[in-house]
Structure formats: structure tokens, C-alpha cells
Amino acid sequence: MSVYCGLDIGSLQAKGILLRDGHPLFRTIFPTGGNAPETAKKLFQALLEGGEISSDEVKTIVATGYGRISVPFATKTVTEITCHARGIAHFLPQAKTLIDLGGQDSKAIRLEKGKVMDFVMNDKCAAGTGRFLEVMAQNFKLTPWELGELSLQAKNEVSISATCTVFAESEVIGLIARGLPREEIARGIMSAIAQRIAGMVHRLGLEEPVAMSGGVAQNPGVVKALERELGVSILIPEEPQMIGAWGAALIAQEYA
């Protein structure tokens, strides 16, 4: 029985999955760190160990994510745009719009029967990505997830006007120092991200159902803010951060 592997070497986290018979055999996540080729190798080793198989049993490997070219042993590389689309088509085939929020970039993807019809990526700056949330959360001495949870407690919102990550950070520090309610600032941060993402989605044209993938889809604050901003409810697969790797493994299986 053949095994297929998907490796999603992201800007922050490297995700890997092995599929056998279309079922996951093993999956894991590593921080990408400064040495993507080394991380990819270790991730693959870890998958083999976890799946208790040898590398010969892996028929095809598809690499995706920013570090996809750092995987010399991959059979094929495919962009995260196509992989996320393929992954979401597996779990939520009804989705017509997919929002992928990762560590350093965000994408809105238009889908038609699981195929990418068009996409928009964020501009060169990191505002509106996971990295933005991490910087903001540090000011509260919280994790991004905790910051998201905190934002859900707010009834009102303190709006953040700066779009630049660095300026938004000093704005937030100022707001905290002025003693404004922390949960309201947190909600303002979530809305700031949501507005950026909504702009990209509208450029493609909002078509329901809307699904979300990428690590940031695990942040309840961001999801809520996006639902508010777009006026729709958003479908989230069980493991949104693994969707790119899933897609890569499914493509590996089809490629073979």
C-alpha cells in the first residue's frame, strides 16, 4: 500500500502529513526556524518515524508553502494557493470563497468545484497576518489565541487607525497606557485585521459559503471579527492549519 506525503513549509510553521488509502497515517507541526531545508528534512524524518514506515514506502512528496523550494527531495512543488484550495475541497467541498491566514501572508481564493478560479494576496506588508497578531499579543503579554479570546469579552471596541504593524503597535501601547479596557483594545485589533482581509475578499467578490484555513483560523477573535465585517458565517475545518499540507498530500496522491 502506498503512502503519500504533503509538506507545507510555512513562514512560521512547517506542517507535514502522510496519507495511506486517503486516510491520515501521521501528521505533525514543527516551527520553521531559520533553516528551512533542515526543518523540512527533520519534519519528513519525524513523519516516517511517527508513521512507522521507511522512506521507500512514500510514493510521492508534494512540497508547498514559502519554503517549498527548500525541499530538494520533493517530487513536485505546488503553491499554497492551490494546496489550500485542494485541502478545503476535501473537507468543505461546498466552499466558494476561501480565506487563508498564515504567519506572514493572507490570501483570498475564489473556488469553483475545488478549482482555483482567481486569488488575491496581501501586499508586501505584514499587517493583516498572523505576525501582526503576534506582535500585538506581546504587548498584552498574551498569546495570539488568548488575545482573541479576550476580544470576545468586549461589548464595545477601541478602533485602531494605523495600518502599519509598527505604528499600530505604538498606538496599542498608548491605548493600554491610557488605561482603556483591554478587551476593547483587543477587539479593535481583531477588527483591524478583519478590515484588511475583508478588503481582499471584496476585491474577488464575496461568494458564500466562505471557509477559512491557515493557523490564524484557530483564533476565535479573528474569525468572529471577520464574520462581523463580512456579514456572513465562516466555515472552519477541524484542523485549519493542516489544510495546506492535506492539499499537498492529496495532490501527491493524484499525481502518482
| Beta carbons of 5 and 27 less than 8 angstroms apart | no
d(CA 209, CA 248): 23
For the record, the C-alpha cell of 182 comes out as 483591554
Minimum distance of ligand ADP from residue 15's CB (angstroms): 6
Of 6, 51, 130, 247, the one binding ligand ADP (CB under 6 A) is 130
# binding residues, ligand ADP (CB under 6 A)? 19
Binding-site partner at residue 236 among ligand ADP, another protein, none, CB < 5 to 8 Å by type: none
Give the x/- contact pattern for ligand ADP in 81-110, rule: CB under 6 A. ---------------------xxx------
Q: What residues make contact with another protein under the rule CB under 8 A?
A: 66, 78-82, 105, 116-119, 121, 123-124, 203
Pick between residue 202 and residue 233 the one whose CB is nearest to another protein.
Answer: 202
Distances in whole angstroms, Cα of residue 243 to Cα of each of 99, 111, 194, 202, 207: 12, 15, 21, 23, 20
- Cβ distance to another protein smaller for residue 26 or 66: 66
Residue 30 contacts ligand ADP per CB under 6 A? no
Least distance between ligand ADP and beta carbon 133 (Å): 6
149 binds ligand ADP (CB under 6 A): no
123's contact among ligand ADP, another protein, none, with CB below 5 to 8 A by partner kind, is another protein
Residue of 60, 122, 241, 253 that binds ligand ADP (CB under 6 A): 241
Whether 90 and 237 have beta carbons less than 8 Å apart is answered as no
Contact letters for ligand ADP, residues 201-220 (x by CB under 6 A): -------------xxx-xx-
Q: Give whichever of 132 and 205 is closer to ligand ADP, judged by the CB atom.
A: 132
Chain residues binding ligand ADP by CB under 6 A are 10-13, 65, 102-104, 130, 133-134, 144-145, 214-216, 218-219, 241
